Amino acid sequence: MTSIISFPGLGIEGFSVNTVAFSLFGRDITWYGIIITLGIIAAVSLAFLRAKKEGVVADDILDLAIYCVIFGVIGARLYYVIMKHENYNSFYDIIAIWNGGLAIYGGIIAGFLTAFVVAKIKKLNIGKLFDLGAPSLMVGQIVGRWGNFVNAEAYGSETTLPWRMGIQNIYNPETIYVHPTFLYESIWNFIGFILISIFYKKKKSDGEVFLWYVSWYGFGRLFIEGLRTDSLYVGPIRISQLVAILSCAAGIALIIIMRYKNRDNPNAVAKYAYLYQSDENPEIASVAAEKPNRNDIKTGTVKPKTSETTKEAAEKSAEESPDKPDDKLEKKDSEDKEEINNDPKKEEDKKDEAK
């Protein structure tokens, strides 16, 4: 499908956008699929980068990414199908995601439930893991929303605002000018990502960054969803708007509760690198031990080197030093003897002193 898209208020005249990027083995590869894939790659790449800084084993991030992507897509599809069940008459219709029909909230819920299960199995710190994943998910959403742009979908009601988007295609033979809600959400997530990245290390307890994301996204989605014309409904209620209200309220409430409980506990956040609940794996223990948080050192959460360690270091330094005390004494005695042998008078003086 080809759409003519324009932003006349911004001086951008109509241009053609085709949903199909190219064909491979007789099947169309759409821009939507490519952009969603790029969003996933960007999200996973950021997770790897942040995990490296926190001393997390890369294999665990890879396992989480694989499971979360698979079940996230399944969750997004099931969420949409359940809300639009009257449009699906066969199993093929249900699995044909290439025809469209994914709901972001279904993907988010399924993704974090999957991460919770995997974290339990691998004995990972769930709060810290969710904190690590939240900014990555936001990056995926920032990129992924542009898939709606090429499909000319997920737009809002008609408007005359300067940034209105014009759409003309087979569904809209006459150009309509609408709210570019895909752009609103992409920008909202971008702002949220910047803020979360700035304040990431200011969190007071593990899991707080994740709650920031839940609250931020829920608050923005509450208003953006109200503008959309393709919302999923349960009776007269926009289901995504309801989920947004509940998630925003729950997130803010939990942040307040957690801050109140930890108001007198400066060490509420676990050690910076200790994502793991178990140090049975020597590789995990060594990775986690390499990078303690500077704040933990200041507050005493990470203990300084023991006197035993310091003593061992001193002994090692002494062994490597070319001028050990014993060697110096032996060297001086040898020099004295050599000097006496060369000077008979000094040898006689030495004997007199001995008498």
DSSP 284-352: HHHHHHT---HHHHHHTSSPPPPHHHHHHHHHHHHHH-S--HHHHHHHHHHHHHHHHHH-HHHHHHHHH
Reference 39, options 66, 69, 1, 17; nearest CA is: 69
173 CB burial (10 A radius; 0-12, 13-18, 19+): exposed
Residue type, 232: L
| Helix ranges restricted to H, the chain | 31-54, 58-83, 91-95, 104-122, 126-144, 146-151, 181-199, 208-227, 239-261, 282-289, 294-299, 307-320, 325-342, 344-354
Phi, psi of 231 (to 5 degrees): -65, 150
Find the length of the chain: 355
Phi, psi of 24 (to 5 degrees): -135, 120
Compute the distance between CA of residue 73 and CA of residue 36 in angstroms, rounded to an integer.
11
pLDDT tens digits in sequence order for the chain, 355 residues long: 899 999 999 999 999 999 999 988 888 889 988 999 999 999 999 999 888 777 778 888 899 999 999 999 999 999 999 888 888 888 888 988 877 788 888 998 999 999 999 989 988 888 888 998 999 999 999 999 999 999 998 899 999 999 999 999 999 999 999 999 999 999 999 999 999 999 988 888 888 999 999 999 999 999 999 999 988 888 888 999 999 999 999 999 999 999 888 777 655 554 444 555 544 444 444 444 454 444 444 444 444 444 444 455 555 555 555 555 555 555 555 555 555 555 555 555 555 555 4
8 A C-beta contact, residue 184 and residue 142: no
What is each CA distance from 353 to 342, 346, 350, in whole angstroms?
18, 11, 5
pTM given for the model: 0.72
Reference 109, options 148, 145, 139, 137; nearest CA is: 137
Structure tokens at 15: 């241009």
Structure tokens at 60: 């665990």
